[in-house]
């Protein structure tokens, strides 16, 4: 009976040892900041931002022209014409306000679209390393709020090396 219990206990302990997970960490934001492709993303984002600014400038110029025209000719307008012109000006004000609100969201969406391939590249490299080294879980350092991380389990350097990114020591 003792041999059976001892055998079961050894089996349970060995299964638990095999089932233990191996966890690691990665700083994706650090890797992203070192990727040479980030320069192109930043340039593309600046171009997109400039395009939106140009569109806003056209709207503001149109608004200013309508206000100036209204102010110069208000004395000659009939009441219905005044009302129509005022409504047109108010509509342009609303359009400009909405455009400004939407522009920041559009820039964020464009940034996400441009960064997604870079994050996918990091994720693919991480997945290959994690599978090869039998990691079961990898936490992101930059947003996880981990209190302590053993540097021996930080995969950031391995991923940057796999991506061909050279990092100066101490950085």
pLDDT digits (tens, 9 = 90+) for 113-159: 999 999 999 999 998 998 898 888 888 887 656 656 677 778 888 88
pLDDT at 171: 52
* Pair of tokens at residue 19: 């089932």
pLDDT at 153: 79
Count of beta carbons in the 10 Å neighbourhood of residue 138: 20
CATH number of the domain that residue 113 is part of:
3.30.910.20
Per-residue pLDDT of 78-94, as tens digits, reads 999 989 999 999 999 99
The answer, yes or no, to whether residue 11 has pLDDT greater than 70, is no
Structural domain containing residue 113? 21-162
Residue 118 lies in a domain: yes
Residue position matching structure tokens 């990898």: 138
Residue 101 lies in a domain: yes
Residue 12 lies in a domain: no
Residue 167 lies in a domain: no
**Better-predicted residue by pLDDT, 13 or 153:** 153
Residue 170 lies in a domain: no
Q: How far is Cα 38 from Cα 105, in angstroms, rounded to an integer?
A: 20
Phi-psi region of 139 (alpha: psi -120 to 50; beta: other; left: phi over 0): beta
- Pairing mode, if any, of strands 23-26 and 137-140? parallel
Residue 59 lies in a domain: yes
Question: How many separate domains does the chain show?
Answer: 1
Which residues share a beta bridge with 24?
138
The answer, yes or no, to whether residue 12 has pLDDT greater than 60, is no
Per-residue pLDDT of 23-60, as tens digits, reads 888 889 999 999 999 999 999 999 999 999 999 999 99
């Amino acid at each position: 009976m003792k041999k059976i219990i001892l055998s079961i206990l050894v089996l349970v302990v060995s299964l638990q040892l095999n089932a233990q997970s191996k966890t690691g960490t990665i700083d994706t934001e650090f890797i992203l900041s070192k990727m040479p492709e980030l320069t192109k993303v930043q340039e593309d984002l600046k171009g997109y931002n400039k395009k939106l600014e140009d569109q806003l400038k056209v709207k503001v110029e149109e608004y200013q022209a309508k206000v100036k025209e209204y102010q110069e000719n208000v004395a000659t307008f009939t009441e219905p014409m005044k009302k129509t012109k005022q409504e047109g000006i108010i509509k342009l004000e609303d359009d400009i306000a909405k455009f400004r609100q939407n522009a920041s969201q559009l820039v964020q969406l464009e940034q996400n679209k441009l960064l997604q391939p870079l994050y996918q590249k990091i994720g693919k490299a991480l997945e290959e390393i994690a599978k090869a080294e039998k990691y079961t879980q990898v936490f992101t350092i930059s947003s996880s709020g981990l209190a302590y991380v053993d540097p021996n389990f930080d995969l950031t350097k391995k991923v940057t090396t796999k991506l061909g990114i050279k990092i100066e020591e101490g950085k």
